[in-house]
Structure 1
């Protein structure tokens, strides 16, 4: 809704500035989306009258004019405008004036003739694009008056961004009612009196679609002068509202629409035949609209028709065949109420929107139909002349305005602020919603122009708007709060996810309900938790592992030609448990699962492409758990390869599994390569442990290699754990760097080579100390594991 501030102030003129008015409207829910000046800044431009116009002695296209600017002495001004003529009144920029664009007017000679100013076009003043001639002013314009004052060029244009429920503010009167309620300033609404008929001409109206059009009014006005000029005050207000003036009759209907909110339409009465019928379109029926668009109408489109043909799309746009023109002498003026449901979406269906449809589909005041018709009739007679006939009206069942009850206690509960009953009653009355008291409650019957008020919460919103949202306090919440305990040894789940993301894994979020096959294949779960009402037939059970979702993610990526994938997910899993917490009968622990598929590294020139393996993912797992050190034991898992899977232990407690997907499931789920994955208890992962100080030695280390032969069935993890636990004090690091089976090693045996790093923090180690430590380790291995020293 776009309009000029000065027009609004003719209805209500509060004692506040334009900026304050814009802020007030915005805070009340009528957002002022844009503010603009009518004209750019300029000065020293006045109303001038051309007294004489003569030819320039040295230029055929120039005129020498004697101009009265109200200063007492006429000025001589050279002008090239083709419409310069004696007796007209135009804007004149005096010497010293500065026009838009920084153009300064000076005393000058034009082709040898003195010129003391400049006669201006609308474009030169920055108020229009017309530069074909001088801007003609009305004949009674006061000579010498400042042009900004005369044309009200200090006016501002406001554009409201209205929500769809506030159709009552698609008019100046509607906005004026809001401003009056917000400021307490009385509104001066348009006085509309009945126009008596002076002729008997009329047309009967038949409502064939009463639900779509419950009310239709019209009257004949004969003897009109369609070529009459539109008054400047109407043209100016239309232009400042974004509507281009066309002709007096059309401009009047548009003006009343902006003023009162009621769209009107004028038909050429001489082109109509018989009664006016309001009906739905017939199959295959066509109409050519005023925008020259020919449409084949569907059966749910409302039509205004006569006895022969369609005349207009009801509530949307008139037809070309019945439209008025400059030769029109009789009009049939229409004012109707169309049900919003019958208009909504119809214009957009055919690729356009009209001002009328924009209003009707949101709701027009069905109580103001006759008032708008009387207002338009008076303007037509005053501007175009003519003799009005009696009003023809057809009325069916109009919308009911049901009472709405408002409880002050409910207002306080919803808004969080207690308002007195007197305050609530005053606010409703100022809004034009006078309440009736029923004990402690208020009962309001919404007026016909407020389609948005239907329930109690609508009235509470009105009270809040008028009271002022900014006046509703925002107290801090009050409650007993305590700091949640958080041990220094734990880290957040967000940090855990970040570590995996830093390692190249992407987080996914899958459904907690999964396919039955996933539970049987990846968890060997027979105690399924079934859903009573699954969202899809295949997603019928709750998951006890996250593996199935990640396998499905890999499958989806392969279908999209993504051959390398790394995913992780954190989420609850669900198990039956009689002692379950917080839900009896169920246990819901958090799990963390990560999966790597495809090559170990993205394709690049610096690395030879190879498939990701168990040890790549094991390294990612160890980095995730650092600084805690995990140990690994060979173990079976229903989802993992029997010979390439391990149990993950922390401090001797099992916290998860690691391994390659079982070949059976790789084949079933059509995976060209076997993904490697791990699944851990998230509660164990978030415990990071406290850092411990360890002195960094400045002494040189001593490095020795130790190769032993042990039984092939001896697990390496067990051996390293034992060596680490029973190592001499100077041994800092034990790492395996070679495993050998073959020639030189007895069958059933394997050779393991370890790198032993020894260092003291206080002194350089002597050869004797180093040899003694190595002998101690060899003796322990021989005694505990029957190891033999390999030479």
Structure 2
């Protein structure tokens, strides 16, 4: 919301010395987000005057239109100013804005007499963009004829002003109006407010334009007023145009400008209909299936049955609270080329001031991707009691500025409803803030908000109609605290009970992050949202559990409406983005939650805010949530080592992804079992299942390897991209206990190497498991260091070479003991896998 300070002063008598910065500080202290204070006219120096065009000479020897003009700038017609101008939207007799030599325009553009296009130009005829009024640079400003030549254009056009740019949060919809900002300003300064909504409004009668509301839940108030005898083609006065421009809106036509002006002033969106284009009564109902509407932006829209629409006897004529239809638009007037008299155009206008359901308007605006100034206000909450005043204000301005006459008929539909009241203890804000405000302060602050307050120790508060966000005692407490000043709240540190620290789950999470970062991976957190398209690109089967997602009711993006079931989509998108920006050697990781619904979730429960929830209520809330396992994942592409004079960089491959899984598992004290597997989106021949042994059974923790070429192509990733994903919760459950620091033995190690020949279908993990079980407790570590195939081994045979390290905790092993342990390991491998010791 852009708030011109000059306009704000009409409702609050601010001290003359108060600047925009001062008002900004006051409003920020009151809880508003005033982002900037724009200084309009900064750097502008006169003389800038009104000029009358006396003569125009067309210079035809140039490729573009150039005119040499004589302009009266207040010195008399016998002493005109000669100015060269390239605009063509003015004629002799028009009043224009002229900047004279010695002046300076915004941006440090100094004006002087200079020779151009063969003539001396003594100044410049200005456009709106050159004066910083708007971005319109299509032509120069043509003023109404009543302004005298030589008068000060800086004051006339209100070029010097300050504009506060306020980011209005969704709960403060009343601040999307000058009335709302003026109320906050008056409260902040302790000054009275001149409420622009306090108007004499005639009561409803049966003579107004007929209105039929078929959906009172969607429209609980509708006011219709009619103005006749409007002069078509009448332009908005300069003061009205300038206020709209300062507020960030573009002047269009008088009727539209007036409705926009009243909306900015009172916060009530309005719509103006050409009565001659209406057919029958105005109606409000839900759209019927298949109905269509051409909105004011020229788009033909297919309506949804949930859309609230404005109708006449022919069908829809507008999307309620969002945008009107083109078939009842106010028509511009033409002009007789001989007399100049206006012809045609709208002469009878029906004004609509209604209150629509915020949720309905918000959903319609989102459904049609059609956000408007009206929908922004309705979906944040509009004062329903302001509709009649806004209609009256619009009628008054149309009568004053367009020469119209207000019809006596007033149509008003109102759904019966009572005021909203809240009961709270007088000391409730004190207990919330930890500050002793006292009853008098609480009552005074609530009254400043607009509430009616009754009672002593227990207060009965009637909430004002423009504050639909005030629904419970804590909302009222927040208002008291806000107006008393957040900066006045004491700073107190919480005192947690002694002996509590991070949980085991949290400690594992942190250790995993540090270990991966220490291994050269860069953490890349991502939003936890995905869409159906990325699951297709990953190549997941239709029955894959990862396709069962939790869909958000109000997603940030329609392309990603669901919560992730795997960490890979976000990480792979980050890898692709960085690769596209020239970073080709990438190793990224992320730790976080995924969301895996089972279908057994119960309906969500709403917890109370006035007390601590019971254990049963918390259990009910937990039962409504999907499973949320904690995962760790990595993605790799390019080289794992930097190339240099010492040689080329080693490319990242599936083994690096598997090693990342081992790195994670070591932080839990778990020794991984790695087996060949097939699992999308990994390459079927380069995919490893990561398992752990718990209670004698293998538990699947995750997968690692090289991604499938089809997934790489679909996602636009570098060739041979690798990935690993592991379940940290299962890893923690498989952990044997607390991770202990490694014990350093004082006794030497005995190393024995063995090469075993097995069938090519035998997994190395099975051979390794057999060696471990046979070697016994003397085996300290086991490492596969070579895999060999060749003709001398025979068809479908392979050789696996292992390095076995033996060590005793209490003595130095003899050669015989180490050899015996090795032989026992080989015997176990032979028995369980058919391995033969290679000669």
Q: Shorter-chain TM-score: what band?
A: 0.5 to 0.7
Q: Which residues in structure 2 correspond to 1:586-625 (within 5 Å)?
A: 625=742
**2:171 matched to which residue of 1?**
165
Find 1:346's aligned residue among 364, 379, 395.
Answer: 364
Residue pair 2:178, 2:266 contacting (<8 A) in 1 also: yes
Which is greater in Rg?
A: 1
Aligned-pair distance for 1:554? 8.8
**1:641 matched to which residue of 2?**
769
Residue pair 2:259, 2:271 contacting (<8 A) in 1 also: yes
Instruction: Say if 2:306 is the partner of 1:300.
Output: yes
Counterpart CA distance in 2 for 1:431 and 1:124 is: 42
Residue pair 2:21, 2:37 contacting (<8 A) in 1 also: no
* Number of equivalences: 611
TM-score normalized with structure 2 length: 0.61
Distance 1:182 1:88, change over 3 A: same
Aligned-pair distance for 1:157? 3.0
- Please list every run of 5 or more consecutive structure 2 residues that lacks an aligned counterpart in the other structure: 333-344, 502-506, 522-588, 599-618, 630-666, 707-737, 751-765, 785-797, 827-839
**2:481 matched to which residue of 1?**
464
**1:439 matched to which residue of 2?**
456
Q: Which residues in structure 2 correspond to 1:653-664 (within 5 Å)?
A: none
**1:65 matched to which residue of 2?**
70
Secondary structure (helix, strand or coil) at the match of 1:383 reads helix
Find 2:27's aligned residue among 25, 28, 37.
Answer: 25
Distance 1:220 1:138, change over 3 A: closer
**2:557 matched to which residue of 1?**
none
Counterpart CA distance in 1 for 2:77 and 2:225 is: 53
Find 1:424's aligned residue among 434, 442, 451.
Answer: 442
Instruction: Say if 2:238 is the partner of 1:232.
Output: yes
**2:81 matched to which residue of 1?**
76
Q: Which residues in structure 2 correspond to 1:195-594 (within 5 Å)?
A: 202-326=208-332, 327-436=345-454, 438-476=455-493, 498=514, 502=518, 560-561=682-683, 563=686
Counterpart CA distance in 1 for 2:420 and 2:73 is: 64
Distance 1:647 1:456, change over 3 A: farther
Q: CA RMSD for the aligned pairs?
A: 5.4
Distance 1:268 1:643, change over 3 A: same
Cα deviation 1:323-377 (Å, max 9, x = unaligned): 2202112122111121223322112212212222222222221111111111111
TM-score normalized with structure 1 length: 0.64
Residue pair 1:567, 1:594 contacting (<8 A) in 2 also: yes
Cα deviation 1:38-68 (Å, max 9, x = unaligned): 3452312321333743659998954352533
Distance 1:644 1:504, change over 3 A: farther
Distance 1:459 1:642, change over 3 A: same
Residue pair 2:689, 2:703 contacting (<8 A) in 1 also: yes
Distance 1:256 1:643, change over 3 A: same
Distance 1:275 1:483, change over 3 A: closer
Residue pair 1:54, 1:63 contacting (<8 A) in 2 also: yes
Cα deviation 1:630-650 (Å, max 9, x = unaligned): 9999xxxx999354149999x
**1:10 matched to which residue of 2?**
10
Counterpart CA distance in 1 for 2:471 and 2:391 is: 28
Counterpart CA distance in 1 for 2:780 and 2:627 is: 27
Distance 1:648 1:215, change over 3 A: farther
**2:643 matched to which residue of 1?**
none
Residue pair 2:113, 2:121 contacting (<8 A) in 1 also: yes
Counterpart CA distance in 2 for 1:133 and 1:215 is: 43
Aligned-pair distance for 1:94? 2.6
Counterpart CA distance in 1 for 2:325 and 2:624 is: 51
Secondary structure (helix, strand or coil) at the match of 1:79 reads strand
Counterpart CA distance in 1 for 2:509 and 2:309 is: 64
Secondary structure (helix, strand or coil) at the match of 2:327 reads coil
Distance 1:70 1:394, change over 3 A: same
Counterpart CA distance in 1 for 2:115 and 2:198 is: 56
Counterpart CA distance in 2 for 1:108 and 1:537 is: 75
Distance 1:99 1:507, change over 3 A: closer
Counterpart CA distance in 2 for 1:301 and 1:377 is: 29
Cα deviation 1:538-586 (Å, max 9, x = unaligned): 999xxxx9799966999687862394879899xxx99xxxxxxxxxxxx
Find 1:53's aligned residue among 31, 52, 55.
Answer: 55
Residue pair 1:234, 1:255 contacting (<8 A) in 2 also: yes
Distance 1:372 1:141, change over 3 A: same
Counterpart CA distance in 1 for 2:517 and 2:375 is: 53
- Please list every run of 5 or more consecutive structure 1 residues that lacks an aligned counterpart in the other structure: 485-490, 516-530, 575-592, 600-620, 662-672, 676-714, 725-734, 742-746, 751-791
Distance 1:371 1:557, change over 3 A: same
Aligned-pair distance for 1:419? 1.1
Counterpart CA distance in 1 for 2:195 and 2:184 is: 12
Residue pair 1:500, 1:624 contacting (<8 A) in 2 also: no
Cα deviation 1:86-143 (Å, max 9, x = unaligned): 6544333232223345443224456776654333333333433444554233445466
Residue pair 1:75, 1:116 contacting (<8 A) in 2 also: no
Find 1:104's aligned residue among 84, 102, 110.
Answer: 110
Counterpart CA distance in 1 for 2:627 and 2:151 is: 83
Counterpart CA distance in 2 for 1:630 and 1:566 is: 36
Cα deviation 1:449-503 (Å, max 9, x = unaligned): 111111001101111211111221213457997999xxxxxx9996798568756
Distance 1:597 1:322, change over 3 A: closer
Aligned-pair distance for 1:624? 6.0
Counterpart CA distance in 2 for 1:380 and 1:79 is: 39
Distance 1:567 1:34, change over 3 A: farther
Secondary structure (helix, strand or coil) at the match of 1:644 reads helix
Cα deviation 1:578-623 (Å, max 9, x = unaligned): xxxxxxxxxxxxxxx9999999xxxxxxxxxxxxxxxxxxxxx999
Counterpart CA distance in 1 for 2:626 and 2:421 is: 47
Counterpart CA distance in 2 for 1:25 and 1:564 is: 60
**1:722 matched to which residue of 2?**
811
Distance 1:407 1:253, change over 3 A: same
Counterpart CA distance in 2 for 1:538 and 1:242 is: 48
Residue pair 2:210, 2:281 contacting (<8 A) in 1 also: yes
Aligned-pair distance for 1:180? 1.0
Secondary structure (helix, strand or coil) at the match of 1:173 reads helix
Counterpart CA distance in 2 for 1:177 and 1:145 is: 36
Counterpart CA distance in 2 for 1:333 and 1:152 is: 30
